[in-house]
Structure 1
Amino acid sequence: MIIDVHGHLTAPAELYAWKAGLLSHRGAHGGKPPAISDDRLREAHFEPHPSFGNVSHFDHIDGAGVDLQLISPRPYQMMHSEQPSKIVRWFTEETNNIIHRSCELFPGRFKGVAGLPQSPDLDPAEWTAELRRTVTELGFVGALLNPDPYEGTQVPPALGDRYWYPVYEALCELDVPALIHAAGCRPPTREPYSLHFIQEETVAVWSLLSSRVLQDFPDLKIIVSHGGGAIPYQVGRFLPSGVRAGGTPYLEKLRRLWFDTCLYTKDSIELLIRVAGVDRCLFGTEKPGTGSQINPETGGWFDDIHLLVNDIDWLTENDREAIFAKNAADLFRL
């Protein structure tokens, strides 16, 4: 059994054409979503796509032996910083509806992970209505949490700030995990969105472990995408400060979080597992996505992460079973 906790929606172009219209008229023409048939939605999952190495979504996950994939919105599409906030809400809600329909069309292959309408013009408590709708009405098993709703245009409160507490309260109430994953990245930032993801996830880990969040919310379940940004690989910089501060050792605090294996080299995955522990690592690929390109050195996909995990020779069969499926099944109550 392989459960991939880090997948994103593959949707027909009509959804994103509608988004372009929302951005053009800024809500003046209303928010009626496009009429996308079940057949059209089904076809999108089997169509080859140039961004996916000219193969389809199902070609990728079937080829990697993924039995169940948790799918969320494509983060860079989420336009959290756009105005007015109603277009952010409309697009988020319809994207979640399309995720739900995809789960219904392919039962047993997908589970939904919600996007939240994280407009900075809304109070975070207002974001949680969509979290509650998707979990209680649509059967979603978690949510994406973008640590930078401004998408690079301003400096947001760090995740240790009380600003985020309404979201943490809702996550604990519903008993679902949050997957930390940044979204778009707009000027004046210097970096592309893919690098912005890693930077924001790095800051997210630092701010959570430097705050009272995990004490105030002992049942909070947080997964950090892309192997935790930079922190697991730079953990040595934080160990001395943990000793100076006294209290809980830094590694013990780090292991209150979970991390996905959405890294594209064996060495990085191996280091993540050594630092975080087998029990804190969840199999994730983002397949199809950034890594969906043929590696000229191997002839395989960069995002064939199952092969990289299998190549770590010191993992036991029980370790692999935990990383590939058991940890996710326990955490998401699958």
Structure 2
Amino acid sequence: MIIDTHAHISGPMEMYEYFRGLAGTSGGGAAVGKFAFSDERLEESLKDHMVEVSGAGTDLQLVCPRPWAVPTGDRRAPLILEVTRQVNDMVARSVKLHPDRFVGLGALPQRAGVSPKLCAEELERCVKELGFIGFKINPDPGEGAAESPHMGDEYWYPLYEKMVEFDVPGLIHGGPYRFSREPELGYFVTEESVAGWALLRTPQVFKDFPNLKIIIGHGGGYIPYQVGRAKGFRIAEMARDPSRESLEESLHHLYYDTVLYNQESIELLIKVVGVDRCLFGSDKPANGSVIDPKTGHALNDIKQYIDAIEWLSEADRYAIYEGNARQVYSRLKE
């Protein structure tokens, strides 16, 4: 079985119109209206999604809301909560339409500079009522304004406590961005890298939460590429403090998905972090769905790259395609 652990749900035009209207509002109050489309309209909007995913050989997708769906930098707490509930409910509706192909991951009503403790109620609702098995976490709710501490800070502990309590992993994924200095792609990878490095440099997090499960999206950001430089700092730290764990040990506290659109990068990721820390992910359908003129395949047909890695054993491929996902997402049913 091929389990895609990194995917975003598709929706009808009414959903996009809702978010455009939301972006144009200001002041207090809740969200502007509600998602007003039938299950028939939702099903219609999923047709192309299903065709693309099936064509890539994927059996099951763990789907979450699009990264821009929750306006975490907005100051209107009621709006953020209402929007988050609506997008999570839409994911649940999609899962209900295709229970054999989709499993839900939720978004959280994160607010810039406000304790993640406020996410607890929605997290619990999604697990108990909607059957979600994990969550997408925005490491920068301030949308580039640096209003929330890095993910190694105790600021995040209330969220980590809930994640461990319900045994739900968190996929670290960048969200909306309010500034024009950095393009979306760079911002996503930068924030995921910052989050990952913060957790790698703060061993106390995994001492306090040994069962915490975190996946760094988009191949771990810059982590695999810069691990040698980080090792230099870690060796110096270990010389000063012999109790400090090695960088290799720290890397194994985290998991990483394969949302990298070329074979060389995926090979590097696997070699650096190990087969047992890699989860298959495609981010399909998205901007990587374009056809590469050199191969005739979509860039985000990730399976083609993994299948072409000759040094992977069949056991390795099983771990990446299915086994690791089942280990990390323990609520995933057989």
The 2-side partners of 1:262 and 1:255 are apart by 19
The equivalent of 1:150 in structure 2 is 142
How do 1:264-283 residues align onto structure 2 when only pairs under 5 Å count?
A: 264-283=261-280
- What letter corresponds to residue 186 of structure 1 in structure 2? R
How far did residue 133 of structure 1 move?
A: 0.7
Alpha-carbon separation, structure 1, partners of 2:115 and 2:156: 9
Q: Do the aligned residues in 1 keep the contact of 2:30 with 2:82 (CA within 8 Å)?
A: no
Shift of 1:241: 1.6
Matching residue of 2:236: 244
Q: CA deviation at 1:32?
A: 4.0
Give 1:31 deviation, angstroms: 5.1
Across the aligned residues of Structure 1 and Structure 2, the Cα RMSD in angstroms comes to 1.4
TM-score of the two chains, using structure 2 as the length reference: 0.94
Go from structure 1 to structure 2 and tell me whether the alpha carbon gap of 1:299 and 1:180 turns closer, same or farther (over 3 Å shift).
same
SS of the residue 1:35 aligns to = coil
Q: CA deviation at 1:121?
A: 5.8
Summarize the Cα distance change of 1:313–1:13 in structure 2 as closer, same or farther, 3 Å threshold: same
Q: Does 1:196 align with 2:187?
A: yes
Kindly indicate whether the alpha-carbon contact (under 8 Å) linking 2:69 and 2:87 is maintained by their aligned counterparts in 1: no
Task: Give the Cα separation in 1 of the matches to 2:29 and 2:280.
Answer: 43
Q: Distance in 2 between matches of 1:91 and 1:140?
A: 17
Q: TM-score, normalised by structure 1?
A: 0.94
Which of 174, 195, 198 aligns to 1:207? It is 198
Name the structure 2 match of 1:259.
256
Q: Which amino acid aligns with 1:78?
A: V
Q: 1:76 Cα shift?
A: 2.6
Secondary structure (helix, strand or coil) at the match of 2:24 reads: helix
Measured in 2, the distance between the counterparts of 1:29 and 1:6 equals 30
Structure 2 letter corresponding to 1:293: V
Match of 1:20 in 2: 20
Q: Are positions 1:40 and 2:71 aligned together?
A: no
Query: Hey, what does 1:120 align to over in structure 2?
Result: 112
In the TM superposition, what is the alpha-carbon distance from 1:79 to its structure 2 partner?
1.8
How many residues align structurally? 324
Shift of 1:156: 2.6
How far residue 83 of structure 1 moved from its aligned partner, in angstroms, is 2.9
Contact 1:85 1:119 in 2 (8 A): yes
Paired with 2:298 and 2:23, the residues of 1 have a C-alpha distance of 35
- The equivalent residue for 2:241 is none
Within the alignment, does 1:135 sit opposite 2:124 as a pair?
no
User: Matched residue of 1:7: which SS?
Assistant: strand
Q: CA deviation at 1:25?
A: 3.7
Once the 2 structures are TM-superposed, how far is the Cα of residue 90 of structure 1 from its aligned partner? 1.3
Letter in 1 for 2:15: L
1:53: which partner in 2? Answer: none
Residues 29, 207 of structure 1: CA spacing in aligned structure 2 closer, same or farther, 3 A cutoff? closer
Q: In structure 2, how many angstroms separate the alpha carbons of the residues matched to 1:28 and 1:229?
A: 36
Q: Secondary structure at the match of 2:253?
A: coil
- Identity %, equivalent residues: 45
Q: Is the 8 A contact 2:29 2:79 kept in 1?
A: no
What SS class does the counterpart of residue 61 from structure 1 fall into?
helix
Unmatched 5+ residue regions in structure 1?
Answer: 47-55
- In 2, the alpha carbon distance for the partners of 1:157 and 1:290 equals 30
Deviation of 1:85 (Å): 2.2
SS of corresponding position for 1:234: helix
Deviation at 1:28, TM superposition (A): 4.5
Q: Which moved more, 1:211-220 or 1:304-313?
A: 211-220
Partner SS, residue 105 of structure 2: strand
Question: Which whole-Å CA distance do the structure 2 matches of 1:93 and 1:267 have between them?
Answer: 39
Q: Which runs of 5+ in 2 are unaligned?
A: 239-243
Larger CA deviation: 31-40 vs 306-315: 31-40
Aligned ranges 1:84-123 → 2 under 5 Å: 84-120=76-112, 122-123=114-115
Cα distance in 2 for residues equivalent to 1:68 and 1:6:
11
Matched with 1:9 is 9
Which one-letter code corresponds to 1:174 in the other structure?
A: F
What letter corresponds to residue 24 of structure 1 in structure 2? G
266-275 or 20-29, which deviates more = 20-29
Tell me if structure 2 keeps the 8 A contact 1:85–1:122. no
* Match runs of 1:310-329 below 5 Å: 310-329=307-326
